[in-house]
Amino acid sequence: MGSSSSTSAEGLHSVRTMETTSKNLDSIVVIGAGECGARAVAELRGRGFAGSITLIGEEAHFPYERPPLSKAALTAGADEKTPQPVTVADEARLADLEVAVQTETRVTRIDREHKVVLAARVASGEASGDRPGATAGDGIRDEFVELPYDRLLLATGARSRPLPIEGAEHALLLRTYADALRLRAGLTAGDHVVVIGAGFIGLEVAASARQRGCRVTVLELAPRALARAVPAELADMLVARHVEEGVDIRFDVNVERIDTVDDGGFVVELASGPQVPADLVVAGIGAEPNVDLAAEAGLECDNGIAVDELLQTSDPDIFAAGDCCSFPHGLYGGRRIRLESWRNAHDQAVVAAVNLLGGGESYVTVPWFWSDQYDLGLQLAGLFDDAAFTVARDRADGVSVLFGLADDGRLVASAAVGAGASVAKDVRVAEMMIGKQARPAIDQLTDPDVNLKKLLRAED
Amino acid sequence: MANWTRACDVDDVENEDVIAAVIDDVHYAIYRSPDDEYFATDGFCTHERFLLADGLVMDNIIECPKHNGRFDYTTGEGKGAPICEDLKTYPVSVEDGVVFVDLG
Give the A:B interface size as CB pairs under 8 Å: 42
Return the beta strands (E) in A296-410 as ranges. 305-306, 318-320, 325-329, 335-337, 368-373, 376-382, 389-394, 400-405
Q: pLDDT tens for chain A, 460 residues: list them.
A: 333 333 333 333 333 344 444 458 999 999 999 999 999 999 999 999 999 999 999 999 999 999 999 988 998 865 666 788 888 889 999 999 999 999 999 999 999 999 999 999 987 555 444 443 344 445 666 678 999 999 999 999 999 999 999 999 999 999 999 999 999 999 999 999 999 999 999 999 999 999 999 999 999 999 999 998 899 999 999 999 999 999 999 999 999 999 999 888 999 999 999 999 999 999 999 999 999 999 999 999 999 999 999 999 999 999 999 999 999 999 999 999 999 999 999 999 999 999 999 999 999 999 999 999 999 999 999 999 999 999 999 999 999 999 999 999 999 999 999 999 999 999 999 999 999 999 999 999 999 999 999 999 988 8
Three-state DSSP state, A212: coil
Tell how strand B17-23 and strand A140-148 pair up.
Answer: unpaired
Residue A15 CB-density burial (10 A; 0-12 exposed, 13-18 middle, 19+ buried): exposed
Q: Which residue of A has its CA nearest to B59?
A: A453
The answer to whether the Cβ–Cβ distance between A424 and B56 falls below 8 Å is yes
**Residues A440, A392: Cα–Cα separation, whole Å:** 13
Output the pLDDT for position B54.
Answer: 93
Residue B80 CB-density burial (10 A; 0-12 exposed, 13-18 middle, 19+ buried): exposed
**Residues A327, B32: Cα–Cα separation, whole Å:** 40
Three-state DSSP state, A431: helix
Q: What is the pTM of this model?
A: 0.88
ipTM score: 0.88
The answer to whether the Cβ–Cβ distance between A453 and B16 falls below 8 Å is yes
H/E stretch holding A46 reads helix A35-46
The C-alpha of A427 sits at a distance from chain B's nearest C-alpha, in angstroms, of 10
The answer to whether the Cβ–Cβ distance between A420 and B48 falls below 8 Å is no
Alpha carbons within 13 A on the beta-carbon side of B12:
19
The answer to whether the Cβ–Cβ distance between B81 and A453 falls below 8 Å is no
The answer to whether the Cβ–Cβ distance between B51 and A421 falls below 8 Å is yes
The answer to whether the Cβ–Cβ distance between B65 and A428 falls below 8 Å is yes
Residues of chain B falling short of pLDDT 70:
none
The answer to whether the Cβ–Cβ distance between A425 and B58 falls below 8 Å is no
The C-alpha of A381 sits at a distance from chain B's nearest C-alpha, in angstroms, of 13
- Residues of chain A in contact with residue B61, where contact means CB-CB under 8 angstroms, are none
Nearest to residue B71, comparing CAs of B101, B43, B99? Answer: B43
Output the pLDDT for position A6.
Answer: 35
The answer to whether the Cβ–Cβ distance between A453 and B54 falls below 8 Å is no
Q: Which residues of chain B have a Cβ shorter than 8 Å from any chain A Cβ?
A: 16, 48, 50-51, 54-56, 58, 63, 65-68, 81-82
Output the pLDDT for position A129.
Answer: 43
H/E stretch holding A180 reads helix A177-186
Q: Which residue of B has its CA nearest to A344?
A: B67
Written as one letter, the residue type at A414 is S
Query: What is the side-by-side order of every strand in the sheet holding A318-320?
Result: A99-102, A52-56, A27-31, A151-154, A318-320
Q: Which residue of A has its CA nearest to B67?
A: A343
**Residues A31, A49: Cα–Cα separation, whole Å:** 18
Residue A215 per-residue DSSP state: E
- Residues of chain B in contact with residue A39, where contact means CB-CB under 8 angstroms, are 81-82
- Residues of chain A in contact with residue B50, where contact means CB-CB under 8 angstroms, are 421
The answer to whether the Cβ–Cβ distance between B63 and A428 falls below 8 Å is yes
